[in-house]
Amino acid sequence: MDRFIRELEIGEIYQRNKWQFELKSEFIPSLNTQENIYTQEFYFFIPNSLQINEETYHKSQFYQDRTNLIRYKTPKFELKELCDTTNTKSPLNRLSVFCNEKPSHETLHFIKDELKLLANSVRSSIRERVGRLVMKKTEEQILKNEIQELCEDLKIFRHDYLSVQSDFIKKWASIKEQSYFLYIDEFLSETVDYYLIGLLDHIKYSNLSNRKEITKVVSEVILQEKYYREHILKKTPISEKDTLKNESILYTKSLLNKFVADALLLHTVHASVVKRFQNLIGSFAAAIAMLVFFVLFTTQSNVLIINSFPFIVLTVLLYVLKDRIKESLKNLSYHQFAKWFSDYKTEIFSPDGSKFVGKMGEYISFIHQKELPEDIKRVRNREFHAVLEAFTRPEQVLYYKKQIKTYTADKSNNARRRALNIVFHFNIERFLQKADDPSHDYITMDPETLELYQINIPKVYHLNMIMKNMYFDKDGNQKNELKKFRLILDKNGIKRIEHISTQINA
């Protein structure tokens, strides 16, 4: 239930598990400019006691620990809007139109895309409505009416979807097309089941006087979907005794989620910029070193007798010097190149890979606190103990920057995929390898009996993180947003995440 509540509370930052957190940002490209630029900067303030620094934590490790996902924001539809036959943007209505067309490879592509888009929209709609019901406090009668309305909308939608699916299966003989509909059918049924069971669990522990009435309404829909999956879709029910059969349940759900996500997840191809140009850098260093060697070699030829012992010794020393110059120049060039260019360049394509959408550059480094911009310093010191602000905090600052440029946007009135969700996952397990035990014994005194007793207190670390978003609005004005988060960690992972400050205009 805790995981279910956390999912409903998903905002900008979300704890995925004990090691990973997720940060989600929204980027809406302007239709008035050819190129849209969205920049994110992250400042990780890491306690020195964790021993994370430039020597112990390398760039390659950071890029292994982070994951970037770029996806279109799910189009917003209420369930009633999806069933509205006059709504030309509704994927369900578009599927009804395709049903009357002749089967073709191109048509099949559109059908699969609309099905996936429909599934994403339905899940998003149900999640938001259940979230409102669980989170907000309303009068009992109003809550009952809203839950009844949700259940009724779900019944109507499921009926309309199954009607469209039935028409397709009758007219389209290919097993491939039929399987697409059945995948989505199972996904929709599982989605309804998941969120309504979460809602039912919340109602179970509430103090509602009409709890039995509401439970009956919600249970009816859950049981209908359960019967449908077991008897129509022939899916294996959950068993308390047969763990082997239960293995397939989460595995199948994972495959269905990936199948559905394809409609929104942008295709990316990334490569290290330094590796792409390492041969050019190496050639440049070799040419300079060879030039130095050749100049010195010809100079000594005019002074020393060729093939004499001093000539041979000096030539060997010059060769060693050339080799060291080449390696030094190569390393220096790599270092300078990393400053001037991103560590990684990622090309972004549409979900089917047919259209180039834009590109993303990434760069990380450890920086000194003196290098922090003034706005970051101000936010870092917010809500910190005033008595300690005069001291330099013993921490390392890890700086991470990514810049996304998009070049194309669908400007049509019926465009449903335009806004982007920039999702950043980060695994902090490496950060905690040198962490102390999660709890310590502490001896204190009872003020009344004056007896000493021992208690166990937690040992935690604070990993502060400031995120800065920079973008241009539709009028071409630059906008800056600063947000601060705090991860409370111990040896066993993330205990909780705090949103220290709300959005601040820099």
Task: Return the CA Rg of the chain.
Answer: 30
Q: How far is CA 146 from CA 125, 126, 136, 153, 190, in A?
A: 14, 13, 12, 10, 21
Q: What is the DSSP letter of 506?
A: -
**Best CA proximity match to 375, nearest among 477, 481, 498:** 481
**Mean pLDDT within 254-282:** 78
pLDDT (tens digit, 9 = 90+) per residue, 43-98? 999 999 999 999 999 988 999 999 999 999 999 999 999 999 899 899 999 998 88
Torsion of CA 10, 15, 21, 25, to 10 degrees: 10
Q: How much is the pLDDT for 480?
A: 87
Tokens representing 209? 């006087």
Mean pLDDT, rounded, of the chain = 82
Q: What is the pLDDT of residues 200-217, one digit of tens each?
A: 988 887 777 778 888 999
What is the pLDDT, as a whole number, of residue 243? 67
pLDDT value of position 459: 93
Whether 372 has a pLDDT exceeding 80, the answer reads yes
In DSSP terms, 496 is beta-bridged to 488
Helices marked H in 302-356: 309-340
The per-residue pLDDT for 105 is 75
Q: Which residue has the higher pLDDT, 443 or 245?
A: 443
CB proximity list for 260: less than 8 A, separation 6 or greater: 116, 119, 120, 123, 184, 187
Which sequence spans correspond to the domains of the chain? 2-73+350-505, 79-263, 272-340
Mean pLDDT over 402-419 rounds to 75
Two structure tokens written together for 382: 């917010």
Q: Is 388 a residue whose pLDDT tops 50?
A: no
Query: Is the pLDDT reported for residue 434 higher than 50?
Result: yes
CB 57 within 8 A of CB 427: no
